[in-house]
Amino acid sequence: MLQRLRKPWPDQRAERTLGALASVVLVLIVLMIVFVASKAMPAFQHNGLSFFGSGGDVDRQIDAMVNTGAKPAPGDYTIGAWPLIYATLLTTALAVVGGLAFALLAAVFIVEFAPPSLRRVVVPVVRLLAAVPSVIYGLIGILVLVPLVNDHLISSGRKQSVQYVISLTGTGLLVAVVILVVMITPIMIAIIVDALYAVPKGWREGALALGVNRWRAMWTVSVRAARPAIIAAVVLACARALGEAIMLSMVSGSKGFAPNPIDGLTFIFEPLRPLAATIVEDADSINAPAMSATVYAFALLLLFSSLVLSLAGFLAKQPMKKYGIRV
């Protein structure tokens, strides 16, 4: 047997072996979705669509679930998870929009305008930043940014104005989004820089030779041609922002509260807690069946949203194929 494996592999065997490995991955994904869905079922069954709604204080509902017995009554499952879903969407969207704008400009600078000496330093540093564990960002956030925001940005008047609704302590939307941006931007920069380098040189030169300056040639030709990679970068960044748990648990304020834009500037200081952070914080009280089903339901939502993301990314790239952009 070993003797056979040591000989050079025929293509057929390589194909079958690798095919089997690839199928294992597929099977695992399907099993995982089925497993999580089956575990989450009771939470959806007992709540129906109101699971996604906002009813009552979500933190209090979760606390109540922890104390339910081994045979929970249907009412024990009651939860309106909207504040958590909203917090996830809000932090992800704001961070990705902000991060994308920054990443695009940074990538354009690195590829087109940075002097080579600077480029040689910046590109490896960006890749390094993309690999920093998120807990370190969380630590810096809670030790540096949160006190800074609390002491210098939130006035006591602002705190008092909402003291009967929510207490502002520095943790909240602003710090969460700022750190998320710092976390996801390097990944996007790295991907977009690679994509801009991969744009055929002839396109850029062709534009320049027509009397278009480098800045415009970059946007109208290179960035246009790199759109599929930009979409891939956005999908990856969204996935990272959606799934970020520890850091957000540290700096988001960890309150099942839905920050309201009509609060004006107070909005950005209001605490919140996204789904992933909720799962991390409640994982230890998962012994109660009602709680367990609810946490699995959160997990299913995250799983589902990453599926939707991949699909959306795929669909968004399709129209670009038409003009011969490599997708």
Contacting residues toward other proteins, per CB under 8 A: 116, 200, 202-203, 205-213, 216, 220-221, 224-225, 322-325
Alpha carbon separation from 152 to 140, 145, 148, 169, 270 (Å, rounded): 17, 10, 6, 11, 15
Nearer to other proteins by C-beta: 17 or 220?
A: 220
End-to-end CA distance of the chain, in Å? 43
> Least CB distance from residue 314 to other proteins, whole Å?
19
> Least CB distance from residue 153 to other proteins, whole Å?
40
> Least CB distance from residue 121 to other proteins, whole Å?
17
Nearest to 173 by CA among 101, 243, 233, 83: 83
Q: Which residues pair with 253 in a beta bridge?
A: 272
Cβ neighbours of residue 276 under 8 Å, at least 6 residues apart? 88, 242, 243, 244, 245, 248, 302
Nearer to other proteins by C-beta: 177 or 221?
A: 221
Nearer to other proteins by C-beta: 2 or 210?
A: 210
Nearer to other proteins by C-beta: 211 or 261?
A: 211
Tokens of 110: 């690195």
Largest CA distance in the chain: 79
Residue 303, helix vs strand vs coil:
helix
> Least CB distance from residue 199 to other proteins, whole Å?
9
> Least CB distance from residue 30 to other proteins, whole Å?
37
> Least CB distance from residue 226 to other proteins, whole Å?
11
Nearer to other proteins by C-beta: 217 or 237?
A: 217
Nearer to other proteins by C-beta: 86 or 203?
A: 203
Cβ neighbours of residue 218 under 8 Å, at least 6 residues apart? 108, 111, 112, 196, 204
